[in-house]
Amino acid sequence: MRLQDKVAIVTGAASGMGKAIAELYAKEGAKVVVSDYNFEGAQAVAEGIKAAGGEAIANRTNVAELGDLENLFAETKAAFGKLDILVNNAGIMDGMEPVGEISDEKWDRVFAVNTTGVMRAMRIATNIFLEQGHGVIVNNISAGGLRGARAGAAYTASKHAVTGLTKNTAYMYANSGIRCNGIAPGGVETNIGASMTGISQFGMGRQQTGSGTMPRVGKPEEIAQLALFLGSDESSFVNGQVIAADAGWTAY
């Protein structure tokens, strides 16, 4: 029970890594707010947690909408009275487009979800944490937030921005009881491929030249273990780090 009595929000928790993180957090004693814009999916995950003896509620949140985020935090406080851990996990892919092919519309959509939504959730959470005197943020970033061509220009830039946001936040609030770290997963078996539209053949070809160096594809549960460590007090001395979980892919 490494998260006994903690309250956690996990965004994008209807599927993939967010679902695995929500389930593991609940198993470890946390009260979990299962947030996703796929509300039926979020409800199913919350029901599964409760059936297994855990505590969870579902929340319909489009992280690209400020009003939805405000409602998410208000409902969390109303249900559980506090917030200890925010896991920013919701994210979408681009279509592997290099900068010469990216449309303004795609760029804006990817940044709204992957970057601005994360910043806004961090802003609201940080102000709750400052009032409480403690809190932890875990951002699910990507190997694409550390390396140049794991995806297209928009996804890569959106995730690099979150790497910077993670480090800045960690340092700014290092003396205020707040920690902020990131995870950089390599390829993981999830449904994220469904968010890819208008794929660039050129960009895909360039991106794939490095795919052969990926030792293997990971399971969402393997990323959840790192999210558990970073969300728990066991990582009390870890702050401002983006830790790769990729079987050694970024080591090449």
Ligand X SMILES: NC(=O)c1ccc[n+]([C@@H]2O[C@H](COP(=O)([O-])OP(=O)(O)OC[C@H]3O[C@@H](n4cnc5c(N)ncnc54)[C@H](O)[C@@H]3O)[C@@H](O)[C@H]2O)c1
Binding site for ligand X (CB under 6 A): 11-12, 14-18, 36-38, 41, 61-64, 89-92, 113, 140, 142, 185, 187-188, 190-192, 195
Q: Cα 54 to chain center, whole Å?
A: 21
Given the complex with ligand X, which of 112 and 130 has the nearer CB atom? Answer: 112
Q: How far is the CB of 43 from ligand X (least distance, A)?
A: 12
Catalytic residue among 155, 171, 173, 252: 155
Whether 155 is catalytic:
yes
Given the complex with ligand X, which of 3 and 92 has the nearer CB atom? Answer: 92
Q: How far is the CB of 237 from ligand X (least distance, A)?
A: 25
- According to DSSP, the residues that pair with 182 across neighbouring strands are 139, 242
Q: How far is the CB of 29 from ligand X (least distance, A)?
A: 23
- State the distance between the two ends of the chain, measured CA to CA, in whole angstroms: 36
Q: Are 54 and 230 in contact (CB under 8 A)?
A: no
Could you tell me which of 123, 120, 204, 111 has the C-alpha nearest to residue 159?
111
Given the complex with ligand X, which of 163 and 169 has the nearer CB atom? Answer: 163
Long-range contact pairs involving 144-150 (C-beta distance under 8 Å, separation at least 24): 145/182, 145/184, 145/242, 146/184, 146/242, 146/244, 146/250, 147/250, 149/206, 149/207, 149/210, 150/207, 150/210
Quote the DSSP letter at residue 157.
H
- Within 13 Å of residue 197, how many CA atoms lie on the same side as its CB? 8
Q: How far is the CB of 20 from ligand X (least distance, A)?
A: 8
Given the complex with ligand X, which of 16 and 54 has the nearer CB atom? Answer: 16
What residues are annotated to the active site?
A: 155
